[in-house]
């Protein structure tokens, strides 16, 4: 719009061209930023899924070990009570 107005009035076009170039550069950088944020979100989701899976496996192993040790202790308690009677 500024270029058209300048064409009618006979003014210099330097600032209009500079503004247009800066607008194009800002648009390109904004698009790159949006794509970069999308990439970061997808990579962090992958990391979160891997971490969640590892955490779940560790919790299951820990719980299983706890149940196994409780079962052994219960068997020992039952055997101990049976031998005392």
Residue 76: per-residue pLDDT: 86
pLDDT of residue 85: 66
pLDDT score recorded for residue 48? 73
Tens of pLDDT, residues 29-82? 999 999 998 888 888 777 777 777 888 888 888 888 888 888 888 888 888 888
Residue 11: enclosing H or E segment and its boundaries?
none
Query: Which pLDDT band, with edges at 50, 70 and 90, does 5 fall under?
Result: confident
DSSP letter, residue 1: -
- The pTM (predicted TM-score) of the whole model is 0.48
């Amino acid at each position: 719009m500024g270029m058209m107005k300048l064409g009618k009035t006979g003014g210099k076009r330097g600032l209009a061209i500079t503004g247009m170039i800066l607008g194009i550069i800002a648009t390109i950088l904004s698009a790159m930023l949006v794509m970069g944020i999308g990439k970061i979100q997808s990579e962090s989701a992958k990391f979160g899924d891997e971490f969640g899976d590892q955490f779940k496996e560790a919790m299951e192993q820990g719980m299983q070990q706890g149940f196994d040790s409780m079962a052994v202790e219960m068997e020992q308690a039952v055997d101990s009570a049976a031998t005392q009677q």
